Structure formats: C-alpha cells, structure tokens
A and B are shown apart, each in its own frame.
Chain A
Amino acid sequence: EAGVAQSPRYKIIEKRQSVAFWCNPISGHATLYWYQQILGQGPKLLIQFQNNGVVDDSQLPKDRFSAERLKGVDSTLKIQPAKLEDSAVYLCASSFNLGTEGKLFFGSGTQLSVL
C-alpha cells in the first residue's frame, strides 16, 4: 500500500514570497490533515478536511495560509506571503475516516526555510 505522498521535500524562499505544498493521501482515506512542526515541537494542526469539506481550520492563519482539497483526494497548502516564523516542516496526514480514534498516517513532510 502506497503511503502519503508529499512534495517538494525541501523549499527555500525569501520572506514575502509565496510557496505551495502538495499532498496525496492514502487511497480511500477520507480525512486529510495539514500540520506544522517547528523544530523541537510536536506537530500543530493547521487544517482538517473530510472529503473536500473543511472540518477544522481554527488554527490556520487565514491572512496568509490557504488550503484546498478539490475532488476530495489530493490537497495543496499555500503560504502567501511567507514570514520568517513560517520556517518549519509541513506534514500532511490522512486517516480512513472521522471517528477512527484518530490513527494518522503521515507523509515525510516538506521542510520550509524562509530567509
């Protein structure tokens, strides 16, 4: 079974530039999550999708971050404009469905450096 695919693996940009990350979840997984993980910290949820609808985006900085999951499969997360404090690893995860006690399958992440 293929895992969660993410790209790119690394991205270096200057502040105020824009960047986009892509995620393809495990086939059949209805729920998709984007997490931000700052060095030395645990992942922090940015947004959760159930199929192509948003379940929770309460911690997404909506003035600069946006995400979509068209057709309920793959997803993109965008930052525009980027700030220095956005330097982090952006992890995508998926799970079979809501209410499955939250067992998540993670991709390897995109490491973003904002200079």
Chain B
Amino acid sequence: SQKIEQNSEALNIQEGKTATLTCNYTNYSPAYLQWYRQDPGRGPVFLLLIRENEKEKRKERLKVTFDTTLKQSLFHITASQPADSATYLCVLGPSGSARQLTFGSGTQLTVLP
C-alpha cells in the first residue's frame, strides 16, 4: 500500500543552523511534491512545489530536493530563525490509485534562540 513518512521525531535546532526535514514515500510515483507550513491553530500554507523532472528548487532560504530513485524529498531551511518554528508537511501529488494530494503527518520544527 502507498505510504508517506516524515521525520518521526520533532526536530530542534539552534538559530542560524540549517534545518533538514526528510520525506520518504513508498509505492508512489507522484508527478510533483509540495511542502506546506502549518502553525498552531492555523491551516497549512503552501511553500514550494517541485516536479519529478526537477532535482532541486529554491526560494529565499528554502531549498527542496526530489530524488525519484530514492523516493525521497529533503526540505532545507538555511540560516534558521525562531520564526521558522512550525510543523512542515510533505504532500505528494496524485499517483496511481491515489487520485488526490496525500499529506504526510508533518515534522514539528523548533528553532531555539
């Protein structure tokens, strides 16, 4: 069956360091993958989309990679700030019998001052 996994543990890092979040999936071949940010009591907010033929995408301090062979996406936040503290959701585009977006359970990132 199709499965999507993000970092199982919450991630704590020191301000100024690079945060790296991992998203692994099995039994999918999505045409694209998205990352969203979710703050407590709020809905998710779209950050980045990367397509299967793109290896890397950047936006300001954010960088996403997409390795369709490893079935993995990495999400990096460089020069992290306490304001980056939130839950980050990996989302797979439709694939096979999954006709809709499939959300991971998220990684809770805390950036310590």
Say whether chain B's binding surface is mostly helix, strand, loop, or mixed: loop
Q: How far is the CA of A101 from the CA of B101 in the complex (A)?
A: 9
Q: How many residues of B contact A (CB 8 A)?
A: 20
- The verdict on B43 contacting chain A, using a C-beta distance below 8 Å, is yes
- The verdict on B42 contacting chain A, using a C-beta distance below 8 Å, is yes
Chain B residues packing against A (C-beta within 8 Å) = 32, 34, 41-46, 49, 89, 91, 93-94, 99-101, 103-106
Q: How far is the CA of A33 from the CA of B17 in the complex (A)?
A: 36
Contact B41 A106 (CB under 8 A): no
- Chain A residues positioned under 8 Å from B49 (CB to CB): 101, 103
B46 to chain A, nearest CB (A): 5
Contact B100 A56 (CB under 8 A): yes
- Chain A residues positioned under 8 Å from B91 (CB to CB): 42, 102
List A83-113 residues whose CB lies under 8 Å from chain B: 91, 93, 101-109, 111
